[in-house]
Amino acid sequence: MASRGTVKAHGGFNANDDAEVLFKAMKGLGTDEDAILQLLIARSNAQRQEIKAAFKTLHGNDLVDNLKSELGGKFESLIVALMTPPIMYDVTCLRDAIKGAGTDEKGLIEILASRLPNEVNEIKSLYKREHNDDLEEDVTGDTGGHFGRMLVVLLQASRQQGIQEDLIQSDAQALLAAGEQKYGTDEGQFITILGNRSNAHLRRVFEEYRKLSGYEIEESIQRETSGTLQEVLLAVVKCARSVPGYFAESLYNSMKGAGTDDQNLIRIMVSRSEVDMMDIRTEFRKRFATSLHKTIQGDTSGDYRKALQLLCGGDDA
């Protein structure tokens, strides 16, 4: 599967040469932020890891530590994120979401609802290796109720494969009976079906659900549930319909209105830059009558803006 990312491996790559460029950009008085961002965003994550190794061999210093001491603020957070291997980045974000002050539900939901089963399994084992803790136990210790149960189901990473024709009708009926047709809501049914079926299967179920009930599944979830459970169920539904569409909406929400959710903005721009940023841009343009590039332009500034726009990769005016 060809990558739909905006960041690609650099053709004439030489880790030692790149390490020298970065060393010079940070040497002496002042820092050449532009040189740093132009170089790092024009390299794939795997190449950045090689640069990091070369930098240590040549200079005896940790590149990320040097970058942290030279840069600051949101720009620093973005560059450090770019220097982190993808699964490790997810692990770091999840750890921060759980162990920070309060729980960052948005971060937990976004990562666990959108990652592929094999990625979730890699995240769990790396989390264990890095922190000597069990991710599932940490999640349940930090969340509760039906929300916690849904996250645990997502952490099992055991979605069925393909479409089970014989279950489409009964799944749609079960969701209808658990919500719209019931006094109160049987959240357990929503959790089981939305947490265990494949995306392709769920898309068929949503179609059937609409025929049976006259409602989109999103409308029913909004009526029948609330709070963080509603958020995670909607995220799963949106990802089943279109992962790039889900991220386009999440990026839009990070920047609309007063203030910017920089944590969310950085996480999505970095983690999707080599995966599906092209498709996210297309979805963004379709849904919001403006481009992602222009929205970043209007909402951020300085080197931070320049780096985000390079990750975005172009303007779909």
Tokens for 218, please give them.
């999103």
**258, part of any domain:** yes
Please, what is the angle between helix 243-255 and helix 277-288, to 10°?
Answer: 60
**49, part of any domain:** yes
pLDDT at 2: 62
The size of the chain, in residues, is: 317
**104, part of any domain:** yes
Write the DSSP symbol of residue 159: P
Nearest-angstrom CA–CA distance, 144 and 139: 9
**Residues 248, 223 share a domain:** no
**2, part of any domain:** no
Residue with tokens 């009558």: 289
CATH number at residue 187: 1.10.220.10
Segment-wise mean pLDDT, segments of 10 residues, the chain, 317 residues? 87 98 94 97 98 98 97 98 98 94 91 96 98 97 95 96 96 96 92 97 98 97 96 98 98 93 97 98 96 97 98 92
Find out whether 284 and 270 touch, Cβ atoms under 8 Å.
no
Domain boundary among 156, 184, 210: 156
Host domain of residue 150 = 86-156
Nearest-angstrom CA–CA distance, 88 and 86: 5
Domain boundary among 28, 57, 83: 83
pTM for the full predicted model: 0.95
**Residues 249, 234 share a domain:** no
Residue 184 contacts by C-beta under 8 Å, 6 or more apart in sequence? none
**Residues 218, 205 share a domain:** yes
**Residues 130, 178 share a domain:** no
Find out whether 310 and 41 touch, Cβ atoms under 8 Å.
yes
**1, part of any domain:** no
**Residues 255, 300 share a domain:** yes
Report the number of distinct structural domains present in the chain: 4
Q: Cβ of 112: how many Cβ atoms within 10 Å?
A: 25
Find out whether 204 and 168 touch, Cβ atoms under 8 Å.
yes
pLDDT at 184: 85
Closest alpha carbon to 310 in 287, 288, 284, 292 = 292
Write the DSSP symbol of residue 14: -
Helix (H) or strand (E) holding 310: helix 302-312
**Residues 90, 73 share a domain:** no
**4, part of any domain:** no
HEC-encoded secondary structure of 153-213? HHHCCCCCCCCCHHHHHHHHHHHHHHCCCCCCCCHHHHHHHHHHCCHHHHHHHHHHHHHHH
Tokens for 257, please give them.
């209105």
**3, part of any domain:** no
Domain boundary among 137, 156, 175: 156
Number of H helices, E strands in the chain: 20, 0
**140, part of any domain:** yes
**Residues 250, 225 share a domain:** no
pLDDT at 103: 85
**Residues 237, 169 share a domain:** yes
SS3 42: coil
